Amino acid sequence: MLQGKKFILGISGGIAAYKCAQLTRLLVKEGAEVQVIMTKLAKQFITPLTMATLSKRPILVEFFDPENGAWNSHVDSGLWADAMIVAPATANTMGKMANGVADNLLITTYLSARCPVFVAPTMDLDMYQHPSTQRNMSTLRSYGNHLIEPNAGELASGLVGKGRMAEPEEIVAELKDFFAKKEKQDLSGKKVLVTAGPTHEKIDPVRFIGNYSSGKMGYALAEELADRGAKVTLVSGPTQISTLNPNIERINVVSAEEMYEASSSRFEQMDAAIMCAAVADYTPVHKADEKMKRNDNELSVELKATTDIAAALGEKKSDKQVLVGFALETQDAMSNAQKKLIKKNLDFIVLNSLKDKGAGFNSYTNKITIIDKHNKIKEFSLKSKADVASDIVDELVGCL
Which parts of this chain interact with ligand C5P (CB under 6 A)?
195, 256, 275, 277, 279, 281, 306, 308-310, 325-327, 340
Q: Cα–Cα distance between 59 and 1 in angstroms, integer?
A: 25
* Least distance between ligand C5P and beta carbon 195 (Å): 6
211 given a catalytic annotation: yes
Query: Virtual CA dihedral for 208, 213, 217, 219, nearest 10 degrees?
Result: 30
Max CA distance (Å), the chain: 79
Q: Cα–Cα distance between 236 and 196 in angstroms, integer?
A: 5
**Closer CB to ligand C5P, residue 214 or residue 306?**
306
Cis peptide upstream of residue 246 (ω within 30 degrees of 0)? no
* Least distance between ligand C5P and beta carbon 200 (Å): 13
Catalytic residue from among 68, 92, 136, 211:
211
* Least distance between ligand C5P and beta carbon 242 (Å): 21
**Closer CB to ligand C5P, residue 222 or residue 310?**
310
Which residues on adjacent β-strands are paired with residue 151? 164
Beta strands 383-384; 365-366: pairing state: antiparallel
Q: Cα–Cα distance between 77 and 185 in angstroms, integer?
A: 26
* Least distance between ligand C5P and beta carbon 208 (Å): 16
Cα 320 to chain center, whole Å? Answer: 29
Give the three-class secondary structure for 147. Answer: strand
**Closer CB to ligand C5P, residue 192 or residue 256?**
256
All residues at 6 or more sequence positions from 354 whose CB lies less than 8 Å from its CB, including other chains: 328, 329, 330, 360, 361
**Closer CB to ligand C5P, residue 80 or residue 361?**
361
Q: Cα–Cα distance between 178 and 173 in angstroms, integer?
A: 9
* Least distance between ligand C5P and beta carbon 288 (Å): 23
Question: Catalytic site residues?
Answer: 211
